[in-house]
Amino acid sequence: MRAAAVLLLLMWASEAQAHAGHVHWSDTSTTWTWNPWVTVPLAVSGSLYMIGTVQLWSRAGIGRGVRIWQALCFASGWLLLVLALVTPLHWLGERLFVAHMIEHEILMTAAAPLLIVGRPVAMVWALPGRVRSRIGGWGQSPWIARAWLWLTTPLTATMLHAVALWIWHAPGLYEAALADPWIHWLQHLSFFVTALLFWRALLMGRERTYGASVFYLFITSLHTGFLGILLAFFRRPIYPIQTSQAAEWGLTPLEDQQLAGLFMWIPAGMVYAGAALILAGLWIARSGPRQQRGRHAHAAR
């Protein structure tokens, strides 16, 4: 549904640009993003994961360490990053608020969880043995281990992600990101990194954290939905720079903002609700056998 919405938006934008005599969205030199601060990390991460997974499977067997479906999840998440940051969606997001919102939600609610489920630790296997050993040693350092444990605690990760989301949607800071490419890059980085921590804490925790994960997903759906409702029902544009070009695409500035708010409110909220339902199902399914084992152990006494 989300991919269809993106394609429809790009097709609509393409027609509007053609009538206005502007550049066409398929013009790779103009509307595609080739900033090395974007393309190089994408190329390096994708190459490391592919090489690392092949190395791991050559030693342990295909599907060992990283399952095939997990590798497919990582590939899907990586392609979604390309869609959000390289394709004309990013270019369009600088001109339409709703496209910018779609870009952000792809980063936070689609690409991030898929990458986490895909076990990105496989990238380490692409490195030489000495480097892997050194990284392993760093990971066992007490202060690094404590910091990582704190960052991936569900409460901490949820709060960091919420703070990043709300701070960057303050009108002054949001529009500063549109005016300065470096601030814009920092905005995307903070959204993406905190989303990775958020999904890592909620999806990769132990079974006993499933209940907490459901709770934090519910909280996140509430506060992101509230922000979306504010954007959708506010009576005037909050971000005049972001919505200043809406008329070129057949929208008023207020309509552009309302569409962006609706997208944050409903489709993104459905992702959080869906993830919560999946985790709740796993929690219930796995708590049954554990309770039965507990009763058998008690009876054996």
Average pLDDT of the chain, as a whole number: 85
pLDDT tens string 265-290:
999 999 999 998 888 888 787 765 55
Whether the predicted pLDDT of 297 surpasses 50:
no
Q: What's the pLDDT score for residue 19?
A: 47
Give the mean model confidence (pLDDT) for residues 106-127.
Answer: 94
DSSP string, 214-233: HHHHHHHHHHHHHHHHHHHH
pLDDT value of position 299: 44
For residues 30 and 172, which has the higher predicted lDDT (pLDDT)?
A: 172
Q: How many residues does the chain have?
A: 301
| Residues whose CB falls within 8 Å of the CB of residue 106, separated by 6 or more in sequence, listed in order | 2, 6, 80, 83, 84, 89
- Whole-angstrom distance, CA of residue 100 vs CA of residue 51: 33
| Sequence-separated contacts (24+) of 131-138 with Cβ below 8 Å | none
* 99 has a pLDDT exceeding 90: yes
Give the pLDDT score at 21: 46
pTM here?
Answer: 0.86
Task: Specify the amino acid at residue 116.
Answer: I
The per-residue pLDDT for 53 is 95
pLDDT score for 292: 52
Q: Measure the CA–CA gap between 259 and 197, rounded to whole angstroms.
A: 28
Mean pLDDT over 25-44 rounds to 84
> At residue 23, does pLDDT exceed 60?
no
Read off the pLDDT of residues 180-215 as tens digits, 9 standing for 90 and up: 989 999 999 999 999 999 999 998 866 557 788 899
Could you tell me which of 114, 113, 115, 91 has the C-alpha nearest to residue 103?
91
Q: What is the DSSP string of the chain?
A: -HHHHHHHHHHHHHHHHHHHT---TT-HHHHS---HHHHHHHHHHHHHHHHHHHHHHHHH-TTSSS-HHHHHHHHHHHHHHHHHHTSHHHHHHTT-HHHHHHHHHIIIIIIHHHHHHT-GGGGGGGS-HHHHHHHHHHHTSHHHHHHHHHHTSHHHHHHHHHHHHHHHTSHHHHHHHHH-HHHHHHHHHHHHHHHHHHHHHHHSS-GGGHHHHHHHHHHHHHHHHHHHHHHHH-SS-S-TTTTTTGGGGT--HHHHHHHHHHHHHTHHHHHHHHHHHHHHHHHHHHHHHHHHHHHHHHHH-
**Is pLDDT larger for residue 16 or for residue 118?**
118
Domain ranges of the chain: 2-129+142-295
Residue 24's pLDDT is what? Answer: 58
Q: Whole-angstrom Cα distance, residue 212 to residue 203? A: 11
- Ranked by mean pLDDT, the top range of 22-26, 88-92, 109-113, 200-204 is 109-113
Cβ proximity of 217 and 113 under 8 Å = no
**Does position 101 have pLDDT exceeding 80, yes or no?**
yes
Predicted confidence band of residue 168 (pLDDT cuts 50, 70, 90): very high
Q: What's residue 12's pLDDT?
A: 54
Q: What is the pLDDT of residue 278?
A: 87
The predicted structure's pLDDT at residue 29: 65
